Structures are given as C-alpha cells and as structure tokens.
Structure 1
Amino acid sequence: MNEPSEERDEILATVRRFERMMDEGEPVFFDLGDFETLIDHYTANTLYDRALQACEAAVAQYPFSNELLVDRAQVLAMRGEYDAALAQIDEVATREPDNADVAVTRGIIATQRGDIAAAVGYFEQGIARSPDRDDIYFNLGLAYQQWQKFKSAARNYKQSLRINPDNDAAIQELLYCLEVSGRLEKNLEFFRRFTDEDPYSAIAWYNLGQAYYKAGRYDDAADAFEYAIVIDPKFYEAHSYLASTYVSREEYRRAIEEFDLSYPAGEPTAEALCNIGECHEKLADWQKARLFYQKAIDLDPEMDEAWFGIGVILDAQEKWFEALHFYRKAVTLYDESAEYWQALAAAEYQVGNVVSAIEAYERATEVSPDTPEAWINWSAILYEQGNFDAAIDLMRTATDLQPADADLQYRLCAYLLAAGRYRQAYDVLENALLLDFDKHRLLFEYFPELEQQRALTRLIDQYRK
C-alpha cells in the first residue's frame, strides 16, 4: 500500500541484485532483513519459484533462523507441496513449540487443502499465542470466507484492521464479505470511526473512500479520496480510486487528470494508461483512446483490456475486419470474459463469419450462462438463418437457466409465434407478463405485425394493471 518511492526503489534494487547473482551463479550473501524483503516481494507477486530460491539461499546462510524455516514452509504450501511444508513446520515445532507461526502455517496448509474446520482451530491457537498480530486474524477471516461464513470472516477482518489499518488485503476482503452478505451500508460506521480517531490518516480516508465507492455513494467516496490526497499528495492508489469514482459519475475528463496522477512522474503503469484510453473512448475521441491503449500494450503486451479496448474503438467505427484481430487477441489472453466473446461474436457476424459467430456466442454462454444478451443474440442468428426449431430450443435452455428473466421469455414467445406454435407461445407469454408486464412491447418490436393479432392483444389486456 502506497510504499514511499525510496523504499520501493530499495526493494527493487535488492531484488535485481539477488536475481543477477542467482542467474550468474555467484555466491549470494544478504542480511536477514534483505532475505525477508525478497521473500515478501516474491510471494506478494505470486512468484513462488523465485520465493523458494530466496528461501533456500537464506536458509543456507542462516540455518538456525526459525523465521526463515517458517517462510520456507509457507512458500512450499503456496506451491502446493503440502507434505514438504508440514515436514518443515514440524521441524520448527520441535525447536520452538510455542511459536505462533507453527499454528499459523498449519492453518494455511489446512485452508489450502480445504480442511477449513482444522484451519480455524489452528488460527485460533495462533491468536491465543500472539493476540496482537493482524495477519493471524486476516488468515482466520480467509478461512471463514472460504467456508462461506461471511459474517465471521468480516468480524476477523475488522479485528485485523483495528490492529493494522494499513492492511489493504484485509480491506478488500472485508468489503467483499460485506457486499456479498448485503451488510456494507450498515457497516460504513466501522470505516468512519478510523477517520474520527485519526483525521490526519491518509490510509483511514482512503479506506473510507473505498467503502463509500463499493456502496455506490460516489460523492462521499470522492470527498474521502480527496482528503487522503490532501494529506498525502503522492498517494497514488487514492488518485486511481478518485479517478474511478469520476468514471462512475461519467466525468471522464476529470478522471483522466486523476489517472495521470496515479503513478510517479515519468513511470506510467499499463493499467493507468489503459484506464485513460477507456476515458477517451467514452468521450468518443477514438484517436487518443487508441494511442493510450497502444501505450498500455507497449508496456504490457499481456494486457487483455487494452487489446479489447482497441477492438471496441474499431467496432464503433464499423471497422469490423480490423476489430476482429484485437478481439481475438483479447480472448486468447483471457478467455473467461463473456463480454469479450460477445464482442468477438458480433464482429464475426458483421463480416459474414456466421459459424465463428455462433461458436463465440456459445463460448460466451459457457463462460457466463446468466448473460441474457448472449443467448438472445445467438438465437437471433439461428432465427435469421430460418432455423426456428434450433432458436426455440436455445431459448428454452436459456429460460430454464434464468426463469425470472422476462426478456428471454418474450423472445421465446416471439419465436414460438413465428413457428405457429400458438398454445405454447401463449403459455410462455403468461409467464412473461407476470414477470414484467411492461416489457410486452418487446414482442411488437420483434414482430410489428403481431399488434394485429386480436387473440394476443386480448391476452395481454387481461394482465394489464
């Protein structure tokens, strides 16, 4: 969270020196603190192979450090090597049986193995031995969250934050649990209390801003982020969140200004450049949007959002052949986005690649079965091809998956009517009218001639309130 640039530079210098020595096979000598820094850096960035290399080098130099052996056990667990991790932590337990990290590491391993009840027990042991450590409460929260006990998870995340308000991971998980359980609005006071207790804490205002943002209270969120920035003008994450708040308020020019301040001068991040590109896209400034998306790709060729963004720009200009290249690249980089697959499908259809369009819509519904637009657009292609039965079968599948979606019901009704299956159509129509009467106009948008069918209009009138 918001590391001072000098501290960040020191960490990266240590990392570069370690990697150079490892790559060149030189002897590696660091003090204990530097090794801890290396291991923390690699684990935070999920670079577990490098983290294990750092652990091995550290243990070779400091074989009697229990802290390093604990680190090694935890890294092994993160790599899925549970038996080796347990053997390592058992060795620490023989040396120091009351070490809280022994219980914590056993809890982490149990969590990753899915034995949540055991994990909770281990973390509670750790808290009994060391009640002032925020990381133990955080791990206990993660275990409860995996168990889908969101109230218990939130309680432990809160305790973690009382001990260490700077724990950004705890904030993110707490906000998620409160959102999922529908309790965010009721818990805003928890976040406000930190700013009341320390009104000059940039972190407290930043955390409050995040809570307001998640609750959809964008004006309050903007105020909180602005307070954080007044206290610490180089609080880059606060600038980024303030920019996102402006995006939510559709104030794209103000958002661009803040995204420009969300990184150290001259050190733009691919994410910031991509966000600026999206703001220009919303302003329909295609040239600038493409420029910033391309800059993001130059910095990070794996940034799927930027590839997709260029596709969207070309699509908006009806340059579908060109858009296809960028959409295909986006789904190659991240194939779990229904939005990407739908955009690709629509572009494929525009250039006449009907089979490819159908395949892309099918993939969109696999990724996100609860996306009505994908089912509707896929069925529309089948219908336009004259394949009424296939379109009807597809919409039946969609309505089975989402029985409460009126749009799908009306679309199915329209296809049944077009196929002459009137009794089935009227049964579906009754369901649709009960779900959302006003949307019956969709039927007449699909087929204007239906307004002349008296039996249909009589049935609709029966449900008119």
Structure 2
Amino acid sequence: MKFNQEHEEDNFPLTRFESMLKTNHVLFFDSDEFENIVNHYLENGKIALAKKAVKLGLDQHPSSSNLKLFKIEILIFENKLDEADRLLAELYELEPQNEEVFIQKANIYSKRDDHQKAIELLEMALEITEDDADIYSLIGMEYLFLDDFQNAKINFMKCLEVDEEDYSALYNVIYCFDFLEQHEEAIDYLNMFLDKNPYCEVAWHQVGKQYFDLKEYEKALAAYEFAIISDDTFIGAYFEKGKVLEKLGRYNEAIENYQITLTLDDPTSFAYLRMGKCYQKLACDDLAIKYFLKTVKEDPLLDKGWIAITDFYTRKMDYQNALYYINKAINIDSENVLYWKRYAKINNRLKFYEEAERGYRKSLELGNYELETWLTRCDILINLGENEAAIANLLEAVEFYPDSAQIEFRLAGLYFSTNEENKGHFHLENGLRLESDYDIILEELFPFVYAKKSVVEKIKRAKSNSSGK
C-alpha cells in the first residue's frame, strides 16, 4: 500500500499497528510511536485498543516510563486502583522526580474521594514541573470536588496566568464567581483579563452573561457585540444577544440574531423557540405558531416547545387544538408533570371531567403537590359524585397543608354529605378557626350543608367572635 508523504508522517504508525492487529504479525515500533498510538486511542475513547497498544508497547519497550504511565492511567480509568498504586510505587523508586507519577497518584486519591491528599500531591508535582498550567487546573478541579470555590477560583486564575488561552480554565473561574454570587467581582476580573486579551470572544461573552444576571441589559448587549466583533461566527454570542434584545423589547432585532445562528450552523430548537416567542410578542400569530411547530419537529423531546404550542392555543381559547398537541406531547413523554397539568386544565375547560381528574391525579403522582392541584381535583371528584375519593384526596393534601381553611371547609362539606356529622363539625370548626370568610366554599359547593341549622349557628358565632375581637 502506498501513502502520500503527509499521510505517512501522520498516520503510518497507526495504520501499521491496526494492520498488525488484523494479521497477528508482530511488527516493531519505537517507544515514541507506541506513545502516539496509545494517546490517539485514549483521546478517542477507544480504551480496548489503547490497552492492546500499551501491552504490545511494553513487550517491546519494558523500561518505557511513559508507556507504564499510560498503563497506570488505564488502570485508574477502570477503577483498578490497587494495581495502579503498586505500579506507581515501582515507578517512583526509579523516577522520584517524574511529575506524572505525582499526578497519577493524585488521580488515585481523587478517585477514592480523598481530594485533600490529591491536592497535596499535585502541589508536590508543581515543584518539579515545567507545565504549571495543567497542574493548577487539576488542583482547581480537586477544590471544586471539595466545594471550596474560593480556592478553586484562585488555582484556575493561576492556570490562566500561565496559559491565557485555556478557555476551560476561564469558564471554571467564572463558574466559581457565579457560585459565590460575585457578579461584580467577575466583571472586574474579566475586564482585567480583557486588558491583556482585548479580542477574546469568550471573555466578552462571559462579561455579557454577568451583566445579564445583574439585569444591566444595555451593558450586556455591548459585551455581546464586542464578542461578535472578536469572532463573527460565535454562535453563543448571537444567542445571548438575542435574549438581551428580547428583554429590551427589541423583538425584530432579536429575531435577526437568532436567524444568524441558523446560517452559521444546523438549526436548533432553541433558536426556533425564541423566534416563535418574539413573533408572539409582535402579535404575528401565524409566524409564532410556525416556529413553535418547527421547534418540536427539530427536537420532539424539548418540553418548552410543546408547552409553547399548547399555551398558544389555550390563550386563544382554542382548547381542541391545545388538547391535540398536549396529547402528542404526553405520548412522547408521559412522565412530564408540566404536560399533565395542562392536560388537566384543558379537559376541565372542555368539561371533560373524568379526563381532567385523571390529569390532576397524574400530576400528583408525579410530585406536583401545589395546593391548587389538590383542591381542583377535589372539586372535580365532587362534581363526579366521587365523595369518598374526594375525601381521600384531601386527607393526603392535609399532610402537606395542615393549616388550609380551603381544605378544612371542603372536608366539612364532604363529611356532612356522607352523614359523618362529628367529622363534619370537627373540620368546620377548624376552617372557621383558620379563616372564617372561606365559609363561601360551603355555600358554593355544598349549599344544603350551608343551610343546616347547626352549621349556620356555628358560622354566625365564629364570625361574631372574630368581629368582636
């Protein structure tokens, strides 16, 4: 097989190695070639091939420290920590000044959740390394594992002092600022960084996000514009600029920015959704629904898309279409509580009470314990003549809302309706004690109970007592 010169330089050892695996003919490679082959497989997540390359490499070069370190790295990845520890101890005896030994030893401690010891070892590696940036970054990550955001931030900053183009470290610095809610300090740091790197689009983008969080939208807008000047293909900056323009009510300009993202890369459901929201604000309903539908076509799993369509039709009181789309959403994801809440409300509006009850019941099963959910389900069950189920529903609700007059008056009405007078009086007294004006619930839902002589007397007495205070 013939190779062009560039292919031969870049890929020839890899091609030879893979050919060797297929034929079982053992070929010789120097240790550097094995290292490059292993590194290639590790970077591409091909662990099995990396292991084969390490084994064959050590067969041919048993004293290669770097290949031993690759073997240790793979063992740590596979959680074979004791074996990795043993090999590291052997390597340390031979090369006590090899920084990678300390780094991999720290990796083992990190895997064992002893992050403080990992930091100590990484600080020892700092004393002998010529590549400070990577180690500062590793120390920063260990502090993040400890939730020590202040020290993490300091180490990521040190990493950036050595390597200003390490954008992952820059993101981590800002992550720490954000967690510490130090938005002003983050802006000061980024401005200092930008003094040295005025065309760093990532830094401008992050300045914009800080101002956005502070609701200083004009300053955020300026920062995103500088990010775009620094890199006019920076999709994230166009997205964020669009969001700021929406906040400023400049919907047509926001749409223009979202459209630019569609020309720079494949369309995203987020861009379609935001464009739909902008058109909705501009009262361009046909275009709004067009882009909402594009949203769910692009990403059927994005619940915000289905919710936007459902809410669009609900606002127009087009409940049939709203129900059609929320049913489609539920067919895709039947565990989404936001879908079931809408399903319940729409069916309730359409007077499909059994379906509405099912929707509220499902919402509760999925953990939506808002008081309104319990109460509306109760009222539907009463409407359906399911008094026992309504009582069971409210007794669950009491666990979450023990001092709700709305629950107590409903329980009073239900117990009186099922001829459990003592329980009815008990809950009536609770309701009157909590909020006597909610007696209107009895009047609306249980007019025959409200007219009972004993009930009337209790209500009168409670109200006269409260007005006399």
* Coarse TM-score class (shorter-chain normalised): 0.5 to 0.7
Please give the alpha-carbon distance, in whole angstroms, between the structure 2 residues aligned to 1:460 and 1:292.
57
Counterpart contact for 2:187–2:210, Cα < 8 Å: yes
Partner of 1:229: 228
**Of 357, 362, 369, the match for 1:359:** 362
Partner of 2:411: 419
Partner of 2:237: 238
Partner of 2:309: 313
Report which stretch shifted further, 387-396 or 188-197: 387-396
Please give the alpha-carbon distance, in whole angstroms, between the structure 2 residues aligned to 1:113 and 1:328.
43
TM-score of the pair, normalised by structure 1? 0.67
Please give the alpha-carbon distance, in whole angstroms, between the structure 2 residues aligned to 1:423 and 1:259.
59
Displacement after TM superposition at 1:276 (Å): 1.6
SS at match of 1:419: helix
Counterpart contact for 1:362–1:378, Cα < 8 Å: no
Partner of 1:160: 159
Partner of 2:135: 136
Please give the alpha-carbon distance, in whole angstroms, between the structure 1 residues aligned to 2:172 and 2:124.
22
Counterpart contact for 1:134–1:159, Cα < 8 Å: yes
SS at match of 2:233: coil
Structure number with the bigger relative contact order (C-alpha 8 A, sep ≥ 6) is 1
Displacement after TM superposition at 1:275 (Å): 0.8
Gaps of at least 5 residues in structure 1 are: 1-9, 43-49, 298-302, 366-371, 401-408, 431-439
Please give the alpha-carbon distance, in whole angstroms, between the structure 2 residues aligned to 1:175 and 1:81.
34
Please give the alpha-carbon distance, in whole angstroms, between the structure 2 residues aligned to 1:225 and 1:195.
14
Higher CA-based Rg: 2
Displacement after TM superposition at 1:111 (Å): 2.7
CA deviation digits over 1:365-409, x for unaligned, max 9?
Answer: 4xxxxxx64x53245313432455445444444458xxxxxxxx6
CA deviation digits over 1:173-198, x for unaligned, max 9?
Answer: 44343333333334321121111223
SS at match of 1:137: helix
Return closer, same or farther for 1:260/1:84 CA change in 2, 3 Å cut-off.
Answer: farther
The reply on whether 1:304 has 2:283 as its aligned counterpart is: no
Equivalent position amino acid for 2:328 in 1: H
Equivalent position amino acid for 1:197 in 2: K
Equivalent position amino acid for 1:100 in 2: E
Return closer, same or farther for 1:355/1:289 CA change in 2, 3 Å cut-off.
Answer: closer
Paired residues for 1:295-444 under 5 Å: 296-297=298-299, 304-305=301-302, 309-310=305-306, 312-314=308-310, 316-317=312-313, 318=319, 319=321, 320-330=323-333, 340-347=336-343, 350-351=346-347, 352=355, 354-355=357-358, 357-365=360-368, 373=370, 376-386=372-382, 387=389, 389-399=391-401, 412-420=404-412, 421=427, 424-425=430-431
Paired residues for 1:91-170 under 5 Å: 92-130=91-129, 132-170=131-169
Return closer, same or farther for 1:201/1:350 CA change in 2, 3 Å cut-off.
Answer: closer
CA deviation digits over 1:230-256, x for unaligned, max 9?
Answer: 122123333333334445556554444
Please give the alpha-carbon distance, in whole angstroms, between the structure 1 residues aligned to 2:256 and 2:408.
52
Partner of 1:45: none
Partner of 1:181: 180
SS at match of 2:364: helix
Please give the alpha-carbon distance, in whole angstroms, between the structure 1 residues aligned to 2:224 and 2:466.
54
Return closer, same or farther for 1:32/1:273 CA change in 2, 3 Å cut-off.
Answer: same
Return closer, same or farther for 1:126/1:25 CA change in 2, 3 Å cut-off.
Answer: same
Please give the alpha-carbon distance, in whole angstroms, between the structure 2 residues aligned to 1:106 and 1:460.
75
Paired residues for 1:51-90 under 5 Å: 51-53=46-48, 55-56=50-51, 58-59=53-54, 62-63=57-58, 66-67=65-66, 69-70=68-69, 73-74=72-73, 76-78=75-77, 80-83=79-82, 85-87=84-86, 89-90=88-89
Displacement after TM superposition at 1:161 (Å): 3.2
Count of aligned pairs: 391
Counterpart contact for 1:310–1:326, Cα < 8 Å: yes
Return closer, same or farther for 1:388/1:326 CA change in 2, 3 Å cut-off.
Answer: closer
Please give the alpha-carbon distance, in whole angstroms, between the structure 2 residues aligned to 1:385 and 1:169.
55
Return closer, same or farther for 1:155/1:277 CA change in 2, 3 Å cut-off.
Answer: same
Displacement after TM superposition at 1:279 (Å): 1.3
Return closer, same or farther for 1:275/1:91 CA change in 2, 3 Å cut-off.
Answer: farther
Please give the alpha-carbon distance, in whole angstroms, between the structure 2 residues aligned to 1:457 and 1:25.
95
Please give the alpha-carbon distance, in whole angstroms, between the structure 2 residues aligned to 1:79 and 1:246.
48
SS at match of 1:385: helix
Paired residues for 1:275-286 under 5 Å: 275-282=270-277, 283-284=279-280, 285-286=288-289
Paired residues for 1:7-46 under 5 Å: 36=39, 39-40=42-43, 42=44
CA deviation digits over 1:418-453, x for unaligned, max 9?
Answer: 3343554466669xxxxxxxxx9xx79989979xx8
